Amino acid sequence: MASGLAPAALCRPATINIALSTGHPMPLHLETPLIESVPLSLASGRSIFLKMEALQPPGSFKIRGVGAACEHHAQNGKRRFVSSSGGNAGMAVAYAGRLLSIPVSVFVPETTTERAKSLIGQQGAEVIVHGAAWDEANAEALASVDAETAFIHPFDDPLLWTGHATVIDEVVRSGLAFDAVVLSVGGGGLFAGVAEGLRRNGLQQVPIFAVETEGTASLAASIEAGALVELASVSGIATSLGARKVSDRAFELSRTRPVESVVVSDADAASACMRFLDDHRVLVEPACGAALSLAYAHADRLAGYERVLIIACGGATTTVERLQAWQASY
Ligand SMILES: *Cc1c(COP(=O)(O)O)cnc(C)c1O
């Protein structure tokens, strides 16, 4: 377990010149609480268990896989990490780099919010703003990669999936029996990791509810087309789900293991975030609200399942003010 990790609560804007902690015991992620949610159970008419990934220091489950990948690359001699995510993946890389004392560069497009840039900068990473859209920032990031640099992909890398799989190892170790897992899908890294965790614990028959929002439903589109397809664009408030195409692995899993694809509205996702804030006193992004909304608003989809594990994946890029504005607009 990860006792003695650098306390993230000590993070301040880098301009306030305090020394942030470096050096750490492995692994980089925390073992998160697993709680039976009375409010979500009452709302959905079945037992709902929450794996509270929102409590990971960089704000989401991403540190599990990103941390595992960064440790692997550090052990193999890499001296610099590069990311092109202005979201939770970039934050996780920045956090991992700080704890491993390895410099991090995060390339983001001009559309990236000040809040996201500041959160990444607070972890001591260099934030490079390049281009009008993500593709340009990503190309610049890739162009900066040399022999000593590891590029950390946000969702499409077996190293990430192996790290994300620890979320299931922890649940199994707790002794909890569950008959379905609910998670949200962007590029499908969490999905692939949870599938790996279920498989390595002999639970490959447990169905996964793969939740996306209407504007980000790239897995649902591929399942419907019967082939891996790329959306022309993504839209809506669940920006952390905004991959135009899921990984090959995610699509393959949708054809080879039990998977229920669910698409919810932005209004559902925003409303779930607000209810979750009241119910569990934890602020999460609409990307996470999408998964939570299965219990709050779409429990009919869970018919036949009695003990459901929801991965409360978290997300650090939103604020109460923004959630309130979204909710008011629906
Ligand atoms: C990245 C992210 C997701 C989606 O994960 P993928 O691995 O891209 O499917 C969901 N929720 C949050 C909060 C995220 O940061």
Q: What is the DSSP string of 76-93?
A: TT--EEEE--SSHHHHHH
User: Taking the model in full, what pTM does it have?
Assistant: 0.93
Question: pLDDT confidence of 9, banded at 50, 70, 90?
Answer: very low
pLDDT at 8 over 80: no
Pocket test for ligand 1, best of 51, 182, 244, 313 (most atoms within 8 A of CB): 313
Rounded-to-10 torsion of CA 213, 245, 194, 260: 50
- The verdict on the CB of residue 313 being under 6 Å from ligand 1 is yes
The vertex-192 CA angle with 189 and 198, nearest 5°, equals 140
The sheet carrying 104-108 orders its strands as 126-129, 104-108, 80-83, 149-151
Residue 309 CA, ligand 1 centroid: distance in Å:
17
- What is the model's pLDDT at position 24? 67
**CATH fold of the domain at 34-61+159-329:** Rossmann fold (3.40.50)
Whole-angstrom Cα distance, residue 289 to residue 282?
11
Please state whether the peptide bond connecting residue 27 to the residue before it is cis, i.e. omega within 30 degrees of 0.
Answer: yes
State both tokens at 130: 């390049």
HSE at residue 206, side-chain half, CA atoms within 13 A, is 24
Residue 111 CA, ligand 1 centroid: distance in Å:
19
pLDDT at 90 over 60: yes
Span 265-279, average pLDDT: 98
Residue 318 CA, ligand 1 centroid: distance in Å:
14
Residue 265 CA, ligand 1 centroid: distance in Å:
17
- What is the model's pLDDT at position 18? 64
pLDDT at 1 over 60: no
User: For ligand 1, atom 2, which residue shows the shortest CA distance?
Assistant: 240
Span 206-233, average pLDDT: 98
Question: pLDDT confidence of 19, banded at 50, 70, 90?
Answer: low
- What is the model's pLDDT at position 133? 84
- What is the model's pLDDT at position 25? 65
- The verdict on the CB of residue 193 being under 6 Å from ligand 1 is no
Span 165-184, average pLDDT: 98
Listed range (25-34, 58-67, 191-200, 216-225) with the worst mean pLDDT: 25-34
- The verdict on the CB of residue 240 being under 6 Å from ligand 1 is yes
Span 272-287, average pLDDT: 98
Residue spans of the domains in the chain: they are 34-61+159-329, 62-155
Pocket test for ligand 1, best of 84, 152, 162, 185 (most atoms within 8 A of CB): 185
Do the domains 34-61+159-329 and 62-155 sit in the same CATH topology, yes or no? yes
- The verdict on the CB of residue 191 being under 6 Å from ligand 1 is yes
pLDDT at 16 over 60: no
In the CATH scheme, what is the code of domain 62-155? Answer: 3.40.50.1100
- The verdict on the CB of residue 61 being under 6 Å from ligand 1 is no
Percent of the chain predicted with pLDDT > 70: 93
- What is the model's pLDDT at position 134? 85
Span 125-147, average pLDDT: 93
Whole-angstrom CA distances from 83 to 7, 91, 160 are 23, 9, 14
Condensed to tens digits (0 to 9), the pLDDT of residues 309-327 reads 999 999 999 999 999 999 8
- What is the model's pLDDT at position 17? 55
Q: Which helix (H) or strand (E) holds 308?
A: strand 307-312
Q: Are 243 and 215 in contact (CB under 8 A)?
A: no
pLDDT at 166 over 90: yes
Question: pLDDT confidence of 65, banded at 50, 70, 90?
Answer: very high
Mean pLDDT over the full length of the chain? 93
Q: Which backbone phi and psi does 318 adopt, to 5 degrees?
A: -110, 175
Pocket test for ligand 1, best of 29, 53, 55, 61 (most atoms within 8 A of CB): 61
- The verdict on the CB of residue 60 being under 6 Å from ligand 1 is yes
Listed range (38-52, 134-148, 181-195, 256-270) with the worst mean pLDDT: 134-148
- What is the model's pLDDT at position 88? 96
- The verdict on the CB of residue 287 being under 6 Å from ligand 1 is yes
Span 81-101, average pLDDT: 96
Span 141-160, average pLDDT: 96
Q: Which helix (H) or strand (E) holds 151?
A: strand 149-151
Residue 238 CA, ligand 1 centroid: distance in Å:
9
